[in-house]
Amino acid sequence: MSTVTPHAPASLPQVRALFTQWLARAAEAGVALRAPPPEPTTCCGRGCNGCVWDGFYAAADWWMEDAQEALTPAKAATETQRR
């Protein structure tokens, strides 16, 4: 299985793909994750300082770090069960 890194993605399609990968890994490991952050719907498109998209990408990064932490003990338990 490939490793999914929890670092800031470059684009919205990449974020969506990473969310899907993390959720699939969690389902495979039997670990429940909280829902990923919702995509913003209120961006005005003017490049504001503190844009809602900045907050979304920060929340997405934090969610992926949280998912990685939740899956780390699950991965160790799964490997132990296979032995």
Percent pLDDT > 90 in the chain is: 72
Given a cut of 60, whether residue 7 has pLDDT beyond it is: no
Q: What is the mean pLDDT of residues 56-75?
A: 90
Report if pTM > 0.85: no
pLDDT for residue 13 is more than 80: yes
- Mean per-residue pLDDT for 61-81? 79
- Are 8 and 57 within 8 A, CB to CB? yes
- DSSP character string of 20-37: HHHHHHHHHHT---PPPP
- Residue tagged 């992926």 (tokens): 64
**Cα–Cα dist 61/25, whole Å:** 17
